Amino acid sequence: MENLKRKGYVRAYGIGHVSNEEIGEYLKKGNVFSILMEMNIINSQNYNFLRRVKESSNSRLYSMIREVKIIPFSITARGLLTGAIDKNTMFQDYDIRSIDSLFNKERMNRISKLIEYMKKLAMEQGCSIAQLVISWVINKEGVWKALTGPTKIEHLKENIKALDINLDKRVMKKIDEFMESENDERDRRTKKWIERVLKGQPSNDVTEEIKNLIFIIDFYIDNGKFNSDLGMQLFSELIYIKNNRFDINNDLLKLRLIKEQIRMNLED
């Protein structure tokens, strides 16, 4: 990309959908203009990585990220932070959210307290929870543009009104502190749940087992503790099993082997 810039083929380039480690490598090797990243009150792994770099003594990396433009997506967490979805919501098989790790039952149980807190704050601010979480994101340092992806006109109008909400530093700090405390506790409980899942035999509910394994892979990739290439390979295998179910015994054998690969990767 730097070569293309030198030749005048592109003015600038950005990166997106990459791990924290990959962000660091790109920043070291090139002049990145923007970073497209998932960012909401549930998952802000990439943003928190950049924040830690700014707070560290790594002056070289700091100088590189100081001018980088942040473009958040999934601000309402695929609709989860609109208040319209809860742990009892069921998705059709064709809906990507049916296997999305964000909607894993364990995670849904853990984030319910956070969502209730945001609903309370939204009432205090006189806005919807969707408007509150959008406003929180666009008011974060370094955010340049934000992608919301409304599917209905009324959602678009609701999102636009978030621009009129002026969250003061006190409210921003309250959200940050509550989010961080909940994330720490949620991660601790999630790791215990993951340990139980990986040690146990695959459930006869193959679809639920697949969802659990996708969640585990995604969780550790986000935390920089799982090989992303292996993660994509295992994800593809899990999707294949989900879409080509013929023999439950064969499916369970494949799931046991995938579990073993996950355990081995986490132990390395």
Chain segment 46-66, per-residue pLDDT in tens: 888 888 777 776 656 666 677
Instruction: Tell me the pLDDT band of 184, cut-offs 50, 70 and 90.
Output: confident
Q: Which residue has the higher pLDDT, 122 or 108?
A: 122
- Structure token digits, residue 25: 């490598």
49-53, 120-124, 138-142, 217-221 — which is least confidently predicted?
49-53
pLDDT band, very low/low/confident/very high, at 221 (cuts 50, 70, 90): confident
d(CA 134, CA 72): 10
Q: Among residues 172, 179, 169, 168, which one has the least CA distance to residue 81? A: 179
Q: pTM to 2 decimals?
A: 0.80
Find which of 99-113, 114-128, 173-187 is predicted with most confidence, using mean pLDDT: 114-128
Please tell me the predicted confidence (pLDDT) of residue 201: 81
**Share above pLDDT 90 across residues of the chain, in percent, rounded to a whole number:** 40
User: Which residue from 164, 159, 156, 86 is spatially nearest to 125, judged by alpha carbons?
Assistant: 164
State mean pLDDT over 148-176.
Answer: 91
Confidence band (pLDDT; 50, 70, 90) for 128?
Answer: very high
- Averaged pLDDT of the chain: 87
Confidence at residue 91, expressed as pLDDT on a 0 to 100 scale: 79
Per DSSP, the three-state class of 34 is strand
What confidence tens digit (pLDDT) does each residue in 25-39 have?
A: 898 888 899 999 999
- The ranges assigned to domains in the chain are 2-199
pLDDT for residue 59: 59
- Cβ(120)–Cβ(114) under 8 Å? no
Distances, alpha carbon 124 to alpha carbons 31, 65, 129, 140, in Å: 42, 35, 11, 20
Distance CA 119, CA 130 (A): 9
State yes or no: pLDDT of 251 exceeds 70: yes
- What residue type is assigned to position 59 of the chain? S
User: Which tokens hold the place of 12?
Assistant: 């600038």
Q: Tell me, what's the pLDDT at 58?
A: 62
> pLDDT by residue (tens digit) across 66-95?
788 999 999 998 888 887 787 777 777 777
C-beta separation of 256 from 238 below 8 A:
no
Residue 90 confidence (pLDDT):
78
Own/partner contacts of 114-119, CB < 8 Å, gap of 24 or more, are 114/41, 114/42, 114/178, 114/179, 114/182, 115/80, 115/81, 115/83, 117/178, 117/182, 118/41, 118/81, 118/175, 119/83
Contact of 35 with 15, CB cutoff 8 Å:
yes
Contact 92, 124 (CB under 8 A): no
How many helices (H) and strands (E) are present in the chain, helices listed first? 11, 3
Contacts of 180 (CB under 8 A, 6+ apart): none
Q: What is the spatial order of strands in the sheet that 14-16 belongs to?
A: 14-16, 34-38, 69-73
Per CATH, the homologous superfamily of domain 2-199 is: NADP-dependent oxidoreductase domain (3.20.20.100)
Q: How far is CA 222 from the centre of its chain?
A: 7
